[in-house]
Structure formats: structure tokens, C-alpha cells
Amino acid sequence: MGVNQWIFQGGNATGKFHIAPGWTEWNKGSTLSSSGAVQFRGRVGIDVDPDLTNSMKLAVNGPIGAQTGIYVRAVGTAWPDFVFQPRYCLPPLPEVADYIRANGHLPDVPSAQTVAQEGVELVTMNAVLLRKVEEITLYLLELRKENDALQARLMRLEAAGSGWKRGKRSSSPSITYLHVSPLL
């Protein structure tokens, strides 16, 4: 019997058909029901090298489509809500910049070469990317706090008449141009 030949035995009282690669290898766990549901026990490969099918439950060579969504359960994956816990140590931006200069990518994010060679596990990668977004949010909140403190200081300096005066505002409401009077 050839590798591409499958036997469908069906029409039993349950309305299911059993699928097997040969008459003597029936796998009652692999079924095709009359309702259209298909269940396979083992591994499934669609237009792929058999070696790839041996290492994965489902291997597909080509795009996979879904009309509504693809859901993956993240069992055992640490979701990055921990970033917002007080004990989380946000990496200082200068250290992040040094890492990027030295490695060409963000810390904890695989390099393009690694992704090309090994691929990515989507749940883990989504968790890493979400952690980076959450870290960026924390950096922005820190910058906002620093900006608010600088604005308050500027207002105090202006009120004290220390030689600082507010210039014309830009079209962006958060940017103010400052003109410094010579301190002579």
C-alpha cells in the first residue's frame, strides 16, 4: 500500500468514519463525522516534508486561513502583567540602548538570524512583545512625570522673574519653546 493511500471505513451507527493508512492499522481516534468534524490522533502534515511532520502535531506548507480567529491557550506561559508590579525592575534606558548597539535587537527578543533559523513560538513571542509594550508604557509614564516636574519648575521660575520667559507655543500642545535671557 502506498504512502499516499488512506482507507476510510465508515457509516457506523455513530455517523463517524474511521481513517487509517491501511486495512490493518485502524486508529479509532481518527474520525470524520457526518457533521463535517474531523479528528486525528497522531500527526498531520499538509504538503510538507515527512521529517517536519514527525516533529510536530500539525505541519502545513503554505498559508493557513481562518475566518474569525485563531486561539491558542497560553497554559504555562507567564503573561507579562508582572511588569506592572512594584517589585518589577524596569531596565534603565541607557542599558537598553547599549544592548541594542551591541546586539542589533531588543533584549529578550530573538534576532532576525535566530528567527530565520529556528522560527518563533507564537504564544511566547506575543508575551515578549506585550512585555515590551508594557515596558514602553512605563517609560512613557516616567517621562510624563519628569515633564510635569519640569513644567512646574518652569512656572515657578517664570513667576519669580528669574530671567526665563515663555516663548511662542508650537502647534503641538505639549511642546513649548523657551527663550533664555542672557544672565549679564
Distance CA 31, CA 153 (A): 72
- The answer to whether 124 and 77 are in contact (CB under 8 A) is yes
**Entry field: residues in the chain:** 184
If you ran DSSP here, which 8-state letter would residue 21 be given? S
pLDDT-based confidence at 163, cuts 50/70/90? low
Q: What's the whole-number mean pLDDT along residues 8-37?
A: 57
Question: 106: closest CA among 83, 133, 84, 79?
Answer: 133
Higher per-residue confidence, 164 vs 57: 57
Beta-bridged to residue 19, according to DSSP, are 8, 27
Q: Which residues contact 140 (CB under 8 A, 6 or more apart)?
A: none
pLDDT-based confidence at 50, cuts 50/70/90? confident
Chain position carrying cell 518652569: 154
Higher per-residue confidence, 95 vs 28: 95
Residue 127 C-alpha from the chain's centroid:
5
CA-CA-CA-CA dihedral for 30, 34, 36, 37, to nearest 10: -40
Burial of 102 (0-12, 13-18, 19+ CB in 10 A): exposed
Instruction: Check pLDDT > 60 for residue 142.
Output: yes
Instruction: Check pLDDT > 50 for residue 2.
Output: no
Instruction: Check pLDDT > 50 for residue 183.
Output: no
Instruction: Tell if the pTM clears 0.75, that is, is over it.
Output: no
Instruction: Check pLDDT > 90 for residue 17.
Output: no
CA 62-77-116 angle, 5° bins: 35
Locate the domains of the chain by residue range: 7-60, 82-180
Q: What's the whole-number mean pLDDT along residues 147-169?
A: 79
Q: Please tell me the predicted confidence (pLDDT) of residue 71.
A: 80
Cell of 26: 485502524
